[in-house]
Amino acid sequence: MATAERLVRSWMASEKDSEVDESVAGISSGQLTLLDIIRALGEFLTSEEDRLRMKGVEFLSSVLGRCPHERLNRQAIRVLTTFYCSKLEDLETIIPALNGLSYLVKFPNIQSAEVKDILNAVFANVKMRALVQSTRFFVFSIVDSLITSHRDTLKEMGSTFLAGYVNLAVGEKDPRNLMLAFAIARVVLVEFDTLAHIEDLFDITFCYFPITFRPPPDDPYGISADDLKQSLRLCLSATPAFGLLGIPVFLEKLTAGSPSTKRDTLHAMDICLPVYGSAVSREFGKKIWSSLKLEIFQPTDPDTEYSALNTLQALVRTMHADKSQDAVNEDSITGLARDMCNECMQALKEPEKAQARAAIKVICAFARANGPLSRFAVSQAAELLIRNFHDPDEVSNRASVVMLLTELIEACRGDATHASISQSSHSSLSPLTASKDALLGLLIVSLKMPATCLPALQGLTALVRTPTLVADDELGYIVLEVSELLRKEPDEVEDVTTDTLALLSAIAGIAPHHLSSQTLPILFSFLPDVTPSRDATAQRAFYWRALSSLSALCVQPQLFETLVVRLIAKLDLLCAISPTRTFDQESTTAYAHAILTALTNTLDVKVSSKDVDVPKYAEQLLPHMFRLYLDAALASSEVIAVAADPRLLQVGARIIRLVNQTLNIARQEKLVAAVFAAYTQGDVKLITGGLLNSSTPFAPLYLDASPRQRNSFILFSSTIVSLRKEVRMPVDNLSTFLSELVAWSDNPSSTVFQREAASHVLASNVNKHVDDVSDFLSSQLEDYSSSALKNTTIPAEARKNAIRTWSSVTRALLVRSHPSANVFIDHLFELLDDNTVDWDAARAIGLLANDDSVLTKRNDAVLKILHVQKYFNTVMPRLLEGAKGTKGSRRETAYLVALAYLINAVPKAVYVTQMPSLMPILLRGLDLVDPSIRSHIINTLSNNIDITSTDKDAVSMYASTLVLAMLKNCTYSEMPDPGVRAAALKYLALLPGTVRYDLLHPYKTRVLKELAKILDDPKRAVRKEAVIARYGMTTFSVVQLFTMN
């Protein structure tokens, strides 16, 4: 007891949380009881001084809120209930008493009698309008807790509880309290007998509709308008009893509301109509239809129109919810349903008018409702439109008719596909079943006419995607007719090529054998065995179009297998090596590249879709690819070898990488062993499936190897890059192998193409096997950095190549957030003081944050989240410090270059907070010689102008500098690079929306004069941007002058 008195008196004097925590700890340990606390508070609880009474109850409530639930028995609960209820009668203690009750009602030992006492006391003594928000929140929390844990007791109270709660909830406006109030109201409406109080409950819910709440900036509670709207809708749709009262409110809001209010009303009706029931929907159906018809036939905006169609769909579905679709016939559709259909049919008689488009949208809404009206409306509309199409007097409207029919077919299809419903299933026939033959014939005929070809293709696509509707032989007929479009000249069918391929692709997923027998032969016939000459433009256009079509269509396993066989056969002919063969090498290389690209694009789609048939091509395709390329690599330099072209090697390497990505660990180990045997030992049998045509040894990693052999290393690289991290390299010492690879890459005879392939192998192995290459990393830091990276006695080009190698290793460590990455980065920073390679090192520092095609999840690289942000936060302070100088030294310029590349490489969100400090530094970079740096800086400024525009002073401060710098960079005489000129003009066009008129006006004449000169720029893209910038500057001036006057 003495301890309790000490704690109470101490708290009354200091109000520190420590006394509350100590009291709770005493109760938890059994040293104190809550009764001891109450006794110690006795003199304060009964004090005549208001402040002391309030503080006494507040301390008790604080202790109760933290007290373990098991420490209070039923007797204690009863005593506390009586105490708190009595304190509700005291205006000075009502706030802490409500706080204490909000804790007490959560104790499991509270009984039904206490629940009733608490609620009766709250209903009798609490006047909500006299309380602040936080106190009202306690009241709602008490009711919410009781309705959660003691719902049966509240139901026993009946009208007493309902009437009392209505009085509490009336007039509440705070969003935090409303979220609780709406939740309580929904439970009451759903589970309580509310018939006698339905009007009162209607008043305290519908008075908030529609919600117009806008959360204040930086709202700490995070309650959005959508949260309130969703909670209110759940209340409005909680009981059918609201139907007769609620529908008139909805209709009033639809008539007089703003577009936003109308959309809220329509969304609420979507949810409420099914609950209110068919009887209410029929009673108000005509009024609802009149309001919806106005929004559909005379729409103010697309969103409201869409919402109105959804509500109409809900209305139709609800009106006929109690009718069986099987029993529906034409005579059974009466009343409002028939009136709606008749109005739409009348509009469809003039298909070329806008009213017909609105009418078909209504019919589509009926179709999607899947009710009794669906089949009737669809059949009526389809028959009318088909008659109209065949009417000789309506020939000019055929295109409009086909477009309307296409929308109807699409609506009948819904979300179903052939993949989701078997064609053999006839449990739910489409409403279009009776009209299918007529529709199919109409659409096929429409393919023959240019005006109707496009909508006909779209209609056929929707038709074939409708399950159970089109039979297999009919699919074959469609393929036969559509394939004829592929025979036409490109100019004739250019506008419908995409839709033609979409239709054929849809059929390929259902019945690929039709394409295999009818479409593919046509497309393959456009691929000549001999390369067209350079002046044969039409033939080249045909094979490009054919390959593009084949790539899009042959995704299915059966079709892809055919594609692989036929295209590889073409490649064999094109890449055949013969000393006596004469041909145009460039044209043949372009044709072969197109074939490989088509194959790669299809393979990429299949790998992204995780098709299970891709792994088999490790045995069926890859050996052939290796044999094709290695034969070319071993051919004499005097013989033309098409497959030795680096551009073809790049595409072939991508094919190898894609296939390898789909292999399991065991198969990847087998493949990498074969590749290592070929490239390190010269044993090519395993990867080519046999001997090559040449007897020349294959040794690409030898320093004296031919350029063709060394170029083929990219095939090795693509295999390594796509390996899983669990696959180990078949070498005795990985560090030694990587060191030898660096020496091979740094050899003066190595080309950029070869060094890039080697850097990919380095990056992949360091990233995936960092623990196995510790010796290699140590060697790089201790030996390579001094012998190559910082060695000023070797040629500058060799040092630049070393920087690229170093960057590959650094990035491999960086993306996995390895500690060694920082050491490697420090070495690059040291090079910023070296006048020979400072800019190269600066570019490397910035580009380390760039994405690449090697270290990706698809290649199973080890990537840590936020590694870019961590790198940015590490190096940005150093770069800012180094670039802040005003002397213009070469060192400061190098830091500026690194900064420009870094900002261009990272997402805008990473550096947006630092834009004010970056602005003066970036502006200095606009004077650098390198066009790419200027382009990076201008693009950064353009991307962030929306951010800097929020703080007008940030841009206005540099207005003159920005205008002059952009004018300098957009003139042909000052900036030869067209990309920089176009970027500068784009930024000039953005400035009027950011800089104040009075600051920009002094430069208006000069800007317009300079922009007039740029209208004669040799590049069309630059001239276009100049026109836009000039118009923006002129319009800006006129608008501002008008505003000022």
What tens digit of pLDDT does each residue of 301-330 get?
Answer: 999 999 999 999 999 888 877 665 554 455
Whether 874 contacts 821, CB under 8 Å: no
Residue 537 has pLDDT above 90, yes or no: no
Whether 200 contacts 166, CB under 8 Å: yes
pLDDT band at 1039 (very low <50, low <70, confident <90, very high): very low
pLDDT of 2: 56
Burial 976-1007 (b: 16+ CB within 10 A, else e): eebbbbbbbbbbbbbbbebbeeebbeebbeeb
Is 582 buried (19+), middle (13-18) or exposed (0-12) by CB count in 10 A? exposed
pLDDT band at 421 (very low <50, low <70, confident <90, very high): very low
Give the separation between CA 908 and CA 434, rounded to whole angstroms.
Answer: 57
Mean pLDDT of the region 898-915: 83
pLDDT band at 1044 (very low <50, low <70, confident <90, very high): very low
Lowest mean pLDDT among 33-47, 679-693, 1013-1027: 33-47
Whether 631 contacts 829, CB under 8 Å: no
Whether 144 contacts 184, CB under 8 Å: yes
Closest CA to 101 of 64, 59, 67: 64
Residue 12 has pLDDT above 60, yes or no: yes
Bond before 240 cis per omega within 30 degrees: no
**Residue of 238 and 40 predicted with greater confidence:** 238
DSSP state letters, 759-822:
HHHHHHHHHH-GGGGHHHHHHIIIIIIIIIIS-TTS-HHHHHHHHHHHHHHHHHHHTTT-THHH
Residue 807 has pLDDT above 90, yes or no: yes
Helix axes 112-125, 159-169, angle to 10 degrees: 40
CA dihedral for 449, 452, 453, 459, sign (positive or negative): negative
Mean pLDDT of the region 966-973: 84
Mean pLDDT of the region 267-291: 92
Whether 514 contacts 475, CB under 8 Å: yes
pLDDT band at 1042 (very low <50, low <70, confident <90, very high): very low
* pTM for the full predicted model: 0.79
Give the separation between CA 985 and CA 133, rounded to whole angstroms.
Answer: 54
pLDDT of 422: 39
Lowest mean pLDDT among 313-322, 661-670, 802-811: 313-322
Residue 426 has pLDDT above 70, yes or no: no
pLDDT of 328: 47
Lowest mean pLDDT among 9-13, 648-652, 686-690, 737-741: 9-13
Mean pLDDT of the region 999-1019: 82
Closest CA to 315 of 361, 357, 282: 282
Give percent above pLDDT 70 in the chain: 94
Q: Show the CA angle centred on residue 764, arms to residues 758 and 767, nearest 5°.
A: 135
Closest CA to 910 of 888, 940, 936, 884: 940
Lowest mean pLDDT among 332-341, 452-461, 604-613, 982-991: 332-341
Give percent above pLDDT 90 in the chain: 48
Residue 468 has pLDDT above 60, yes or no: yes
What's the token pair of residue 361?
């949208």
What's the token pair of residue 910?
């990473």
Helix axes 978-990, 1020-1044, angle to 10 degrees: 10
| 628-656 confidence digits (pLDDT tens) | 999 999 888 888 889 999 999 999 999 99
Give the separation between CA 282 and CA 646, rounded to whole angstroms.
Answer: 73
pLDDT of 1009: 83
DSSP state letters, 126-181:
--GGGS-HHHHHHHHHHHHHHHHH-HHHHHHHTHHHHHHHHHHHTT---HHHHHHH
pLDDT of 727: 92
**Residue of 842 and 912 predicted with greater confidence:** 842
Q: Show the CA angle centred on residue 301, arms to residues 296 and 307, nearest 5°.
A: 55
pLDDT of 547: 94
Maximum mean pLDDT: which of 406-420, 712-726, 975-989: 712-726
Mean pLDDT of the region 192-204: 92
Residue 1 has pLDDT above 70, yes or no: no
Residue 218 has pLDDT above 80, yes or no: no
pLDDT of 995: 75
Lowest mean pLDDT among 63-72, 543-552, 664-673: 63-72
Phi, psi (deg, nearest 5) at residue 861: -75, 160
Maximum mean pLDDT: which of 81-95, 521-535, 729-743: 729-743
Mean pLDDT of the region 103-119: 91
**How distant, in Å, are the alpha carbons of 412, 433, 459, 554, 742 from that of 430?**
7, 5, 15, 29, 66
pLDDT of 523: 93
Q: Show the CA angle centred on residue 1022, arms to residues 1018 and 1023, nearest 5°.
A: 75
| 551-561 confidence digits (pLDDT tens) | 999 999 999 99
Is 292 buried (19+), middle (13-18) or exposed (0-12) by CB count in 10 A? buried
pLDDT band at 522 (very low <50, low <70, confident <90, very high): very high
DSSP state letters, 200-226:
HHHHHHHTTPSP---PPTT-TT---HH
| 351-383 confidence digits (pLDDT tens) | 999 999 999 999 999 888 876 678 888 889 999
Q: Over the chain, what is the mean pLDDT?
A: 87
**How distant, in Å, are the alpha carbons of 308, 316, 600, 717, 1037 from that of 339?**
18, 13, 57, 71, 56
What's the token pair of residue 336?
């409002």
Lowest mean pLDDT among 310-324, 534-548, 820-834, 839-853: 310-324
pLDDT of 331: 54
